Chains A and B, each alone.
Chain A
Amino acid sequence: MNAKIYRSLYRIRRVEEEIGKVYPTDKIKSPVHLSIGQEAVSVGVCLALDSQDIVFGTYRGHALYLAKGGNLKKMIAELYGKATGCAKGKGGSMHLIDVAAGVMGESAIVGTTIPQAVGYAYALKIKRSSSVVVSFFGDGAVEEGVFHESMNFAALKKLPIIFICENNFYAIHTHQMKRQANPKIWERVKSYGISSERIVGNDLFKIYQHVGNAVKALRSGKLGPIFFECTTYRLKEHVGPNEDYYLGYRTREEAEPWLKNDPLQKLALLIKSKNRQEIEKEVEKEIVEAFAYAEKSPFPKGSELFTEVFKD
């Protein structure tokens, strides 16, 4: 199990780092919102899901896409704008999709995929499906009206949905305390009649365990929804591959505890070094192949501009 988790965490971290390396070459002409620092939430949650479970995410969605089983080659090709990308180059970094893996898309508009996840859960409920939907969003999304409308409807219809609020404390450069009168998101959600819990400090194992219990409960007929606020921390700038302490809206000191508590480094200590090296070698090979695939893939033909405006 530890090896599986380590592989997933390491893979996401290294993919993001490689994107960061390539980014200055301008081969990736798509705004990238890297997941570095926040991987543990997606990995912990998705570990508790099956492939037929459905996730909806945000523009900072690389970790979720990969943790849920999204195809890596197609993801990198999408960032390169290639025809072989997961959305044929028409989506970009903020709109990754892998229908077979249950990744149903992300949105650049904060909060926008929450009601879609709720609607999908309504559909699963009336189909009597045992699958669940997980809706990922950040602390900024809970300030949007649609968040509250969605909580109310999900609670009203008791839908098989798990909400994951990835609270990284910042909406771009503005701290949660400047935006929310009561920052206890998980507590406010309880007022909708939703079972709600806060898991602090990128605690991957606790997230896995508690979300796992929630998934089991929903599959066995317990009424949803279930809400988790998971505190985490973005280590790179809002958009792009660099650090941004120079902007002055946050300090390196603030980031220190999160760096020390890096789930990836902690997990590395739990795995025998030989196993770890094997995992790392395999992942590195996969990443090299994925970038090579993206590099050599063709761009879409000009005629693609006009296709898929409508579905026949």
Chain B
Amino acid sequence: MKRNLTYVEAIREASDQEMDRDKSVIVFGLDVDDPKAIQGTTEGLLRKYGAERVFGTPLSEDAMTGAAIGMALAGFRPIHIHIRMDFILLAMNQLINIAAKYNYMYGGQINIPLVVRSMIGKSWGQGAQHSQSLYSFFMHVPGLKVVAPTTPYDAKGCLITAIRDNNPVIYIEHRILHFQKGYVPKKLYTVPSGKARITVKGKDITLVGISYMQIECQRAARYLEGAGIKAEVIDPIWLSPLDIDTIVASVNKTGRLIVVDNDWTTCGAGSEIVSMVLEKLQGKRVIKVRRLGFAPVTCPPTPPLEKLFYPDGRGIASVAFDLVKGGQSKWVPDEQIDLKEIEFKGPF
């Protein structure tokens, strides 16, 4: 019987085991020590490790990010938690001007081992300021690492890797993924940075799904099976450093690439992946590419509009079908109950 945990439990276990192993690991952020304990991801840590190593902070994202950097300079390994990615915009100066630059700017003498955990929301009216991913902002800047694990297994392994990394790591959690269950070993293990995973083997088209869109890509692959198309699905896991070689090898085989981003496409992770693949394969192979992602608008909370804002499995399958078949059939598979989107319930 395999040990199944939720994504939330996997994060909590990684934090607990690392805090137990290494006294320099400390956890803080808004509401970290409140009764809801960041959806349960920090539950029990205060009781076990005390208020000096686990504490809620004032609503001061900017200063608390700077303080995290100061703690890192003094030998700690802080995990700074933001319950929304959108709040990190208040901390960009410290992340971009300081955390990303200190090791380089000071000739390798001081470095910032820092994990910034941040959540992305979707559905149930998250709306304009509770839905943004923004991870391409961080991919853009040298000196930051970016990871967006999809499975509970990767959630634990990547968090442990991030905590042990001697550099700032932006760790991105999609709220819908929080409820996913999957195999998680009890032991401490790491999921190495800069290594993608092929989650579905195929030969006709490569689907790269980032964060939650990995789930939609796997649904799309199932829909495509019904149409006789074998999609290969790749989860990059780490966006920076990015394992472009695994993606290139796949596209070299399939000749077709769709990157489905959990973000806007303009200047996004998908744009970067497509560019890198084209650069590497130009002159060797003619390929077809598409980027899918958020509609180029602000995320609306009302359900009928919000549904159109995000790509979904059937929509991805439809685009993939035409890319493989070469026409403009606008084929859309019938919805399968077992591939239906998981409904997210409030109040959050």
Contacts and interface: CB of A to CB of B under 8 A. Distances in A.
B167 A153 contact: no
Nearest to A159: B67
Nearest to B144: A310
A123 B104 CA distance: 23
B103 A118 contact: no
Contact of B107 (A91, A112, A117, A145): A91
A146 interface: yes
A107 B76 CA distance: 21
A99 B94 CA distance: 20
Given A149-B58, A149-B60, A119 B70 contact: yes
A119 B106 contact: no
B106 A87 contact: yes
A105 interface: yes
Contacts of B104: 90, 308-309
Interface string A300-312: 0000000111111
Interface string B203-244: 000000000000000000000000000000000000000000
A311 B73 contact: no
Q: How large is the interface on B (under 10, 10 to 19, 20 to 34, 35 or more residues)?
A: 35 or more
A230 B309 CA distance: 55
A68 interface: no
Interface stretch (B40-48, B108-116, B118-126): B108-116
Given A115-B62, A116-B66, A118-B63, A87 B109 contact: yes
Nearest to A114: B66
Given A109-B97, A115-B65, A87 B107 contact: yes
B106 A309 contact: no
Nearest to B75: A123
Contacts of B166: 310-312
B62 A145 contact: yes
A154 to B, nearest CB: 9
A88 interface: yes
Contact of B57 (A91, A120, A126, A153): A153
A99 B67 contact: no
A95 B63 contact: no
Interface in B58-104: 58, 60, 62-76, 93-94, 97-98, 102-104
A308 B167 CA distance: 11
Contacts of B53: 126
A69 to B, nearest CB: 16
Interface in A56-100: 56, 85-91, 95, 97, 99
B98 A112 contact: yes
Interface in B129-172: 142-143, 145, 166-167
A119 B66 contact: yes
A160 to B, nearest CB: 12
B110 A153 contact: no
Interface centre among B70, B93, B105 (most CB of A within 10 A): B70
B67 A153 contact: yes
B74 A115 contact: no
A56 B63 CA distance: 15
Nearest to B24: A123
Contacts of B71: 119-120, 122-123
B60 A97 contact: no
B334 interface: no
Interface in A105-152: 105, 107, 109, 112-124, 126-127, 145-146, 149-150, 152
B74 A123 contact: yes
Contact of A310 (B62, B103, B110): B103
A93 to B, nearest CB: 12
A275 to B, nearest CB: 37
A116 B106 CA distance: 15
Interface centre among B53, B71, B72 (most CB of A within 10 A): B71
Contact of A105 (B63, B68, B102): B102
Contacts of A270: none
A308 B70 contact: no
Contacts of B93: 109, 112, 146
Given A119-B68, A123-B75, A97 B63 contact: no
B67 A105 contact: no
Contacts of B98: 107, 112, 116
A90 B107 contact: yes
B52 interface: yes
Contacts of B167: 310-311
B61 to A, nearest CB: 8
A116 B69 contact: yes
B63 A150 contact: yes
A156 interface: yes
Given A105-B110, A146-B62, A87 B105 contact: yes
Interface string B153-193: 00000000000001100000000000000000000000000
Given A121-B70, A123-B70, A309-B104, A149 B142 contact: no
B106 A150 contact: no
Contacts of B76: 123
A126 B52 contact: yes
Given A115-B64, A115-B94, A149-B63, A120 B106 contact: no
14 contacts: A104-B110, A115-B67, A116-B69, A116-B73, A119-B73, A123-B70, A123-B75, A126-B53, A149-B64, A150-B60, A153-B60, A153-B67, A156-B58, A310-B166
**6 A-B pairs with least C-beta separation:** A119-B70, A115-B66, A119-B67, A123-B74, A149-B63, A88-B107
Given A95-B105, A149-B62, A308-B104, 12 more contacts: A86-B107, A99-B109, A104-B73, A115-B65, A116-B67, A118-B66, A119-B69, A124-B74, A126-B52, A150-B66, A150-B67, A310-B103
